[in-house]
Structure 1
Amino acid sequence: MEEKINKLTAIYEKIENQVDNLKKKTCVSCIVNCGECCKRFEPYISVLEAVPLAKYLRNHPEKHKLYKRNVEQNKVKWNACPFYDNETHCTVYDIRPLICRLFGFSANRNRQQKIIFATCTKIEQEMPEKVKVARILTAKGLDVPIYQDIAQEIQDIDFVMATDYHPFSKSVKIAMDNYDSIMQDNFQKTENSAHSFSDLLRRKIRTGEFL
């Protein structure tokens, strides 16, 4: 399993390089002190993406305690990602899941196989000219992360875990509860996986509702 985690980390590093290059070429960036994507909704992530987060929590009991408290508070009323802090923002930035990395800085391939730059509403509103440049450069071949392609790369690491999708905190719980078997490569896909990857991706492209 450690090899699979290393492969996932390598994909994350590639994404970071692509996004850094995108930011340099277009000057598109997150809105300073925004954090709306962490506070507005709970995204779906795969169990595979949750494994590094589970490993982090197991190695930091004090952080795990805080995480569980935040999860319980969210059950009463949604506040923010349980890893989010109002002052420091993402507390697991280096191991954050795919959707957190791509939100605002990626592209989708439509049915005609045209690559279209996608960003968040706030960036679109605050930086319309920069977003326009990003779309033009993406159409001309600028190397940007393409959601479908990267998701496929992650599936190639471990298809079962990479297609076992749940709300963020539920996937983390599954990874925590099954940590020993996961690390021994004995994980069995959960019977109540909310949606297949294909269903989620189609919904993302159509409505963006699970982002």
Structure 2
Amino acid sequence: MSIYHKVRAVERIFYQLEKEVGSFQKSTGLGCMPNCGKCCSKPNINATALEFLPLAYHLFKKGEAEIWLEKLNTDTSTTLCPVLNVIMAPDAKGFCSDYEHRGLICRLFGFSAMLHKNDKPVLVTCRPIKEGMPHAVTKAEAILGTKKNYPLISNYYMQLRSIDESLGEELFPIRIAIAKAISTVLGYYAYRRPPKKSA
């Protein structure tokens, strides 16, 4: 499968997830707290390279992939996500500088569940949401108890692995995951005709 088709396959998973998360949020009232961004500023976020393939492809088409890779490989002063804006820009919805191409972990956290003992689904969300929206959290937990209509983290990571097991299996610190995604795109197009650059 070509890089382009892998990117499109990942984007189809993201599209399905957006619909499922949107439905879950609508039925529970869950949502991010205004101007928060605390989950993005955690230094120990792990991700797969595959979930950042759309970002890497986007950067490649913009002619910025090599610059990003160089920075990721040389800047060891931080472990934070390189897409994070430390200060929220005016009129921005959040702290992500490329929200459209954020990874799977970014899309799942706060509004999904993982299975614990006896396959019991447990809500994966943050303290600000738990403290700021206790009624919504209670409603979400009640929905999880029915085992219907909620995004399950393991399901989405399984779908990712079915696209490319080598890129979708292993979790890395987020900066390394993004660097690996960029390296994959650059390596693929090293001896192939590149896609048209985007503005």
Q: Above 0.5 in TM-score?
A: yes
Alpha-carbon contact 1:29-1:123 (below 8 Å) kept: yes
Larger RCO (CA under 8 A, 6+ residues apart): 2
CA distance in 2, matches of 1:176, 1:125: 37
* Whole-angstrom distance in 1 between the partners of 2:137 and 2:180: 37
Which aligned pairs between 1:167-182 and structure 2 lie closer than 5 A?
Answer: 167-182=173-188
Contact 1:71-1:82 at 8 Å conserved across structures: no
Task: Give unmatched runs, 5+ long, in structure 2.
Answer: 191-199
Aligned counterpart in structure 1 of residue 140 of structure 2, from 120, 134, 140: 134
The equivalent of 1:38 in structure 2 is 40
Residue aligning to 2:29: 27
Q: Is the 8 A contact 1:71 1:169 kept in 2?
A: no
Please give the alpha-carbon distance, in whole angstroms, between the structure 2 residues aligned to 1:69 and 1:174: 13
For 1:12-91, what aligned pairs fall within 5 Å after superposition?
12-61=14-63, 65=67, 75-78=76-79, 80-85=80-85, 86=87, 87=89, 88=92, 89-91=95-97
| 1:144 partnered with 2:146 | no
* Offset at residue 144 of structure 1 (A): 1.2
What one-letter code is carried by the residue in structure 1 that aligns with 2:102? R
RMSD of aligned alpha carbons: 2.5
Secondary structure at the aligned position of 2:113 is classed as: strand
Give the match's secondary structure for 1:117.
strand
- Which secondary structure does the structure 2 equivalent of 1:116 belong to? strand
Alpha-carbon contact 1:108-1:147 (below 8 Å) kept: yes
Supply the distance in 1 between the matched residues of 2:144 and 2:11 (Cα, whole angstroms): 25
* Worse overlay, 128-137 or 167-176: 167-176
Which consecutive residues of structure 1, in runs of 5 or more, have no partner in the other structure?
185-211
Which amino acid in the other structure matches residue 77 of structure 2? V
**Partner residue of 2:6?**
4
**From 166, 171, 192, the counterpart of 1:165:** 171
1:22-44: CA deviations, max 9, x gaps?
11111110010101111122412
Q: 1:182 to 1:147 in 2, by over 3 A?
A: farther
